[in-house]
Amino acid sequence: MLNDKKILFSGMQATGNLTLGNYLGALKNWVTISDEYETFYSVVDMHSITVRQDPAELRKRARTLLTLYIAAGLDPEKNCIYYQSHVSGHAELAWILNCFTYMGELNRMTQFKDKAAKHADNINAGLFTYPVLMAADILLYQTDVVPVGVDQMQHLELTRDIAQRFNSIYGDVFTIPEAYIGKVGAKIMSLQDPSKKMSKSDENVNASIYLMDDPDTIIRKFKRAVTDSEACVRYSEEQPGIKNLLDIYCACTGKTPAEAEKEFEGKGYGDFKLAVGESVVGVLKPLQDRFHDLTKNKDYIDGVIKNNSEKANYFATKTLRKVQKKVGFPERIR
């Protein structure tokens, strides 16, 4: 890198509509910490085809996601925001790393087990080796930190194991990455079943707040959120529904759970849910306005896509050539 900053990489899949979980667990943290690092934020469209996609729809969602990165506050002049499929090094490194990953390791991945159960009619090899592509994403940029939600920890551990294995054979080729888990919003749960994470692929639309939901919809979904019969706003594992709403409220307002408990002392769940909904509207409305402005500016977004894919390609190729040489591929003749 040209400066002394450490390197950060993260990515999101262009499948489904982004939820408040994706925003509070990932995107918001990306913005908060971006200034401290040299950053690469990828729209990981190659990961998306591990489950069947409609091509036109995937293209549209990928562009929406890239635009949302910017709307959320990432300046594309400072942050390398790009499509994974525009940098062929991801696939090339993934192939090499496949040869340094064991079937047994991949068999243990819980996301694979979940997705295989969900898509029983299409358990393809890509779904199985998905974590290796993720390792390639990260290692390609000599990444130091990877901000993700807790659900991705297992993949990150695997990435570290693969990198260490490779380095122990060929010397210090890869930087060993660390996970960065945000303090608040690390795991936002479903509004309809607080034992499940809020997920963009949930079939029940009332379970998730989507980033593009209008204010009325947001308030209505919070009013319907599953709670309990304790009638007391307390931050406790015994009240998972209330705890989740407190997590959301604190992530949106910057308050601590203790401050929030105090604020709602003696108040009913109705008032509390309304306040949570309003705090979410307060965060999402400005983001939505910026998103709509950006979509009107096609040339600007096209320019971001072009410039940043060139930048990502430059850094990716540097690592890739080093790795190719180490494993014994013949040198390129210029």
**Torsion sign over Cα 268, 271, 273, 275:** negative
Active site includes 262? no
Among ligand ATP, ligand LTN, none, partner that 199 touches (CB below 5 to 8 angstroms by kind): ligand ATP
Residue 200 touches which of ligand LTN, ligand ATP, none (Cβ within 5-8 Å per kind)? ligand ATP
In the beta sheet, which residues pair with residue 6? 37
* Residue closer to ligand ATP, measured from CB, 41 or 291: 41
Contact call for residue 201 and ligand ATP (CB under 6 A): yes
298-327 and 89-98 are packed helices; what angle lies between their axes, rounded to 10 degrees? 30
Helix 269-295 to helix 240-253 angle, to the nearest 10 degrees?
Answer: 50
Stretch that binds ligand ATP, among 7-15, 131-139, 223-231, 318-326 (CB under 6 A): 7-15
**Does the active-site annotation cover 311?**
no
Separation between Cα atoms, residue 92 and residue 95, nearest integer Å: 5
Please tell me whether residue 265 adopts helix, strand or coil conformation.
coil
Say how far apart CA 223 and CA 276 lie, in whole Å.
9
Tokens standing for residue 132: 């290796």
Q: Considering the complex, state which of residue 21 and residue 76 has its C-beta at the smaller distance from ligand ATP.
A: 21
**d(Cα 50, Cα 117) in Å, to the nearest integer?**
13
Q: Are 288 and 211 in contact (CB under 8 A)?
A: yes
Cα–Cα distances (Å) from 12 to 54, 116, 225, 269, in that order, read 18, 19, 26, 34
The answer to whether 31 touches 73, Cβ cutoff 8 Å, is yes
Residue of 6, 187, 200, 325 marked catalytic: 200
Q: Which of 158, 198, 242, 281 binds ligand ATP (CB under 6 A)?
A: 198
Q: Does 26 bind ligand ATP (CB under 6 A)?
A: yes
Q: Is 45 in the site for ligand LTN (CB under 6 A)?
A: no
The site that binds ligand LTN (CB under 6 A) totals a number of residues, namely: 14
Phi, psi angles (nearest 5°) of residue 206: -80, -10
- By CB under 6 A, name the one of 20, 146, 163, 312 that touches ligand LTN: 146
Among 7, 25, 72, 279, binds ligand ATP (CB under 6 A): 25
Please pick, from the candidates 39, 79, 142, 152, the single residue that binds ligand LTN as defined by CB under 6 A: 152
Q: How far apart are CA 76 and CA 258, in angstroms?
A: 37
Structure tokens at 241: 């529904």
The candidate with the shortest Cα–Cα distance to 9, out of 125, 163, 122, is 163
Nearer to ligand LTN (CB atom), residue 130 or residue 269: 130
Q: Catalytic site residue 197?
A: yes
CA distances from 93 to 5, 89, 111, 326 (A): 24, 6, 22, 12
How near is the Cβ of 204 to ligand LTN at its closest, in Å?
A: 20
Nearest of 49, 168, 154, 142 to residue 111 by alpha carbon: 154
Which residue has the CB atom at the shortest distance from ligand ATP? 25
Cβ atoms of 208 and 280 closer than 8 Å:
no
Q: Which of residues 110-139 bind ligand LTN (CB under 6 A)?
A: 134, 137-138
194 counts as binding ligand ATP under rule CB under 6 A? no
Residue 178 parent element (H or E): strand 178-180
Q: Which of 37, 39, 47, 185 binds ligand LTN (CB under 6 A)?
A: 47
Least Cβ distance, residue 161 to ligand ATP (angstroms): 19
200 sits near ligand ATP (criterion: CB under 6 A):
yes
Over the window 144 to 163, marking each residue x when it contacts ligand ATP by CB under 6 A and - when it does not, the resulting string is ----xx-xx-----------
Residues within the interface to ligand ATP (CB under 6 A) = 12-13, 15-16, 19, 21-22, 25-26, 148-149, 151-152, 185-188, 197-201
Q: So which residues are the catalytic ones?
A: 115, 197, 200
Residues within the interface to ligand LTN (CB under 6 A) = 9-13, 44, 47, 134, 137-138, 146, 148, 152, 155
